[in-house]
């Protein structure tokens, strides 16, 4: 399918597909424009509010139009957000590298069920974790008994290998023609060389995709930080974002107003922007692998 789209020019449309009429094209454009607006408007509103003066942000207009950098200035004046960003970047980079490393090597081993004794059993064991979660408290006890409370490792280790990603990569590897691997073996390549020189170059798409999945997962993971990090100076961005934005959102959590007033809306929105933009910036680079990577792994198998 992907091949068809890539090479298919309009002139080469199949005979049964006529050029849509102007009316249909207009209707399509309109529908797409509406969808895009619905998607983009909230994001635009967040960005605009973060750059607005507090008065303009509360005025209730369609988009605040004033411009002020005060919200960003007040955030970066303290070290909290800067430090949280550093923690998040560190955890995301280190976590993604480790995750990809372990997922790929495990998946490769499990893709060769005939050569690796016991690999079927290991595969089922891993699949089992997709069906049953351990629950919050047992997980906490595990992390605590490993001595990882208040350690950055508690943000990485619990979700380091995702069973779903592992299956996707394994299925991708299974599709690589066995003849290819066999010829490499005849040429004298060992398993490591086969993995590095033959399998990985052929799997760039799927690896880019799972790397992105992992990176987004690490970047957004607030729950592990909430449970395992007691020291607030170690909190990553999502946990800090939670403190900035969630307070006062839910009626049921508002029980006491003698607390300080929540940060102004402009500051909240600025924190949202700071938390969203870095990971958003990664997307365009991985986008082109997306369809191919996930679908190939998922459909064939």
By CB under 8 A, name the binding residues for other proteins.
54, 58-60, 74-75, 77-80, 83, 136-137, 140-141, 144, 149, 226-227, 230-233, 235, 239-240, 242-244, 246-263, 267
Are 269 and 57 contacting, i.e. CB atoms less than 8 angstroms apart? yes
Residue with tokens 């002020």: 68
In the complex, minimum distance from the CB of residue 9 to other proteins, in angstroms, rounded to a whole number: 49
In angstroms, the CA 69 to CA 77 distance is 12
Choice between 52 and 167, CB closer to other proteins? 52
In the complex, minimum distance from the CB of residue 210 to other proteins, in angstroms, rounded to a whole number: 29
- If DSSP codes are grouped into helix, strand and coil, which group holds residue 67? coil
- Tokens standing for residue 99: 């995750």
Choice between 80 and 98, CB closer to other proteins? 80
In the complex, minimum distance from the CB of residue 277 to other proteins, in angstroms, rounded to a whole number: 19
Choice between 157 and 195, CB closer to other proteins? 157
Q: In degrees rounded to 5, what are phi and psi of residue 238?
A: -60, -35
Are 103 and 166 contacting, i.e. CB atoms less than 8 angstroms apart? yes
Task: Please tell me what DSSP assigns to residue 263.
Answer: P
In angstroms, the CA 91 to CA 35 distance is 35
Residue with tokens 């003849």: 179
In the complex, minimum distance from the CB of residue 246 to other proteins, in angstroms, rounded to a whole number: 5
Question: What's the burial of 69, exposed, middle or buried (CB within 10 Å: 0-12/13-18/19+)?
Answer: exposed
Choice between 7 and 255, CB closer to other proteins? 255
Residue with tokens 């299974």: 174
| Nearest one of 245, 263, 264, 274 to 55, comparing CA atoms | 264
Are 297 and 171 contacting, i.e. CB atoms less than 8 angstroms apart? yes
- Tokens standing for residue 275: 């938390």
In the complex, minimum distance from the CB of residue 10 to other proteins, in angstroms, rounded to a whole number: 46
In the complex, minimum distance from the CB of residue 275 to other proteins, in angstroms, rounded to a whole number: 13
In the complex, minimum distance from the CB of residue 121 to other proteins, in angstroms, rounded to a whole number: 32
């Amino acid at each position: 399918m992907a091949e068809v789209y890539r090479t298919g020019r309009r002139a080469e449309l199949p005979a049964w597909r006529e050029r849509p009429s102007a009316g249909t094209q207009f209707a399509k454009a309109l529908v797409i424009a509406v969808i895009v607006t619905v998607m983009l408007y909230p994001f635009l509103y967040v960005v605009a509010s973060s750059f607005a003066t507090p008065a303009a942000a509360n005025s209730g207009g369609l988009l605040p139009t004033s411009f002020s950098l005060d919200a960003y200035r007040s955030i970066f004046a303290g070290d909290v957000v800067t430090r949280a960003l550093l923690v998040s970047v560190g955890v995301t980079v280190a976590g993604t590298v480790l995750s990809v490393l372990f997922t790929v090597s495990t998946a490769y081993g499990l893709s060769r069920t005939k050569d690796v004794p016991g690999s079927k059993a290991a595969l089922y064991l891993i699949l089992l974790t997709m069906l049953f979660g351990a629950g919050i408290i047992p997980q906490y006890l595990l992390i605590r008994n490993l001595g990882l409370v208040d350690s950055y490792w508690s943000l990485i280790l619990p979700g380091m290998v995702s069973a779903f990603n592992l299956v996707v990569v394994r299925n991708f590897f299974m599709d690589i023609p066995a003849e290819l691997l066999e010829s490499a073996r005849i040429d004298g390549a060992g398993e490591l060389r086969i993995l590095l020189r033959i399998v990985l170059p052929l799997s760039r798409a799927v690896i880019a995709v799972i790397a992105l999945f992992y990176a987004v997962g690490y970047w957004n993971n607030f729950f592990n930080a909430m449970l395992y990090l007691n020291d607030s100076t170690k909190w990553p961005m999502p946990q800090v974002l939670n403190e900035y934005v969630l307070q006062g959102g839910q009626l049921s959590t508002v029980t006491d107003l003698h607390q300080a007033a929540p940060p102004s809306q402009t500051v909240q929105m600025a924190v949202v922007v700071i938390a969203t933009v870095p990971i958003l910036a990664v997307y365009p680079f991985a986008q082109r692998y997306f369809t191919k990577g996930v679908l190939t792994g998922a459909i064939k198998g």
